[in-house]
Chain A
Amino acid sequence: MTCRLVLPAALRDCAGGRRELEASGTTVREVLDDLALHLPVLERRLRDESGRLRQHVLIFVDGVGVRGSAELDTPVGVDAEIFVAPAVSGG
């Protein structure tokens, strides 16, 4: 299942300069697993090596916030938009 990942400016260098890219998965976790295969440096910006979402990374699926690692199994629908943002708390 293909979705659209929208990146903040700080991460575009990790995606070849792109603001948006396509990724696959039926949950947020699967989308990040797909990123780990194709753009591993970008994936490391979002999750640490233990698989946890970084503390100050925000992810929204079609505008609804995913609250940390506990909600990585949030479903991702066909053509969903996954929006990534830095939390104000992180810097």
Chain B
Amino acid sequence: MIGTRKGLVIARSRDDRRSWAVDDIRFVNLDVYSVAVDARRDPVRLFAGAGSGHWGPLLAHSDDLGKTWVEPESAPIAFPSGTDAALVRVWQVQPAPANQPDVVYAGVEPHALFRSDDGGVNFSLVEGLWNHPHRPKWTPGNGGACLHTVLVHPTDPQRLWVAMSAAGVYRSDDGGSSWAPANRGIQAYWNPEDQRFPEFGQCVHRLGMHPERPQRLYAQNHFGVYRTDDGGDNWQTIETDLPSTFGFPIVVHPQRPETVFAFPLQADGERMPPQARCRVYRSQDAGASWHPLSSGLPQDPYYGAVLRDAMCADSGDPAGIYFGTRLGEVYATRDEGESWNLVVNHVPDVLSIRAALLA
């Protein structure tokens, strides 16, 4: 699933991800900021969170792999009366682990988390986060006041993390009833020198987690790449060998918790790859060192960027890693990033991407 600035594109492979056929674009002219595949269900359920500058946001689902889409008559995600808030955008749709088969989370703008207990048809506001005393001080990032990442502990449904721009990381240990900031060690570089490690307010761009090692999280920030080994209590930088610490996505290999992928950009004021070279960076030692990967990627001067949710992994073995660019290309690897192949080109700029292997 490839969510773009002007619609949803689905690419399908029937030869173990060697070649791809691309469906006609759906949700034409809507920005598709979030896509998701809920493979816990039979049939598999797809989600698309789309929006229009005129007509507002929507969340639709498909139970026939994208042939038809349903937008429920009752708005799936809506702020309750009394909040005086209205949904601006669905940034993230995150099915919970298999031990919570009907639970789906959604991260939205303005900063809020919603939870569904019926497979993603009806969501309710997670009031513990909405009522957090810090919320009046959370500020929007350049992309908006977005809750863009939701991580759920694979075995403990009480523990979950959210990441918000520019509020930082928050963790709940009671299923969402209460939340605490989890940003110690992460820098807010724009603050005065003596205030660069605040309790909250960091501009986290994306989190990654491996389900076999859920105490270890990776974070790509607005300048800064970090790792925590204690569930977010403390973070350390993991930036050695990276050409820049700015970027958006960070993706953990689905089989190897020590392997992680990123796509560095030069800077916030220069959102293009360092030295204009299209390169994915991979670490195989949990961020202690990083190595560039470029075989099969454009070799000419390259000015595209990869947004926060436009890189993902599939569930295959060997794993597939995918990324979409703002130039409308999607690349994939099935050999750990040693070589990359073009999945599709000339689609609108890519905002979100998910891949799954289905029988």
Docked complex Cα distance between A91 and B6 (Å): 12
Interface residues of B (CB under 8 A from A): 29, 52-56, 58, 71, 73-75, 78-79, 81, 84-87
20 A–B pairs (Cβ distance < 8 Å), ordered by A: A10-B52, A10-B54, A11-B55, A40-B74, A45-B55, A48-B56, A48-B86, A49-B75, A49-B87, A50-B84, A50-B86, A54-B55, A54-B56, A56-B53, A57-B55, A86-B54, A87-B54, A90-B54, A91-B52, A91-B54
Tell me the minimal C-beta distance from A19 to chain B in angstroms.
16
Docked complex Cα distance between A22 and B78 (Å): 27
Number of interface residues of A (CB under 8 A): 18
Tell me the minimal C-beta distance from B56 to chain A in angstroms.
5
Which residue of A44, A48, A52, A54 contacts B54 across the interface (Cβ within 8 Å)?
Answer: A54
* In the assembled complex, A1 has its CB within 8 A of some CB on chain B: no
Interface residues of A (CB under 8 A from B): 10-11, 40-41, 44-46, 48-50, 52, 54, 56-57, 86-87, 90-91
Tell me the minimal C-beta distance from A85 to chain B in angstroms.
9
Tell me the minimal C-beta distance from A91 to chain B in angstroms.
4
**Is the CB–CB distance between B53 and A91 below 8 Å?**
yes
The residue of chain B having its C-beta at the shortest distance from the C-beta of A91 within the complex is B53
The 10 A-B residue pairs with the shortest CB-CB distance, nearest first, are: A48-B86, A45-B55, A91-B53, A90-B54, A90-B53, A49-B78, A86-B54, A50-B86, A56-B54, A40-B73
**Is the CB–CB distance between B71 and A41 below 8 Å?**
yes
Tell me the minimal C-beta distance from B94 to chain A in angstroms.
22
Tell me the minimal C-beta distance from A86 to chain B in angstroms.
4
What are the residues of chain B within 8 A of A87 when measuring CB–CB? Answer: 54
What are the residues of chain A within 8 A of B53 when measuring CB–CB? Answer: 56, 90-91
The residue of chain A having its C-beta at the shortest distance from the C-beta of B78 within the complex is A49
Tell me the minimal C-beta distance from A14 to chain B in angstroms.
9
Docked complex Cα distance between A45 and B75 (Å): 11
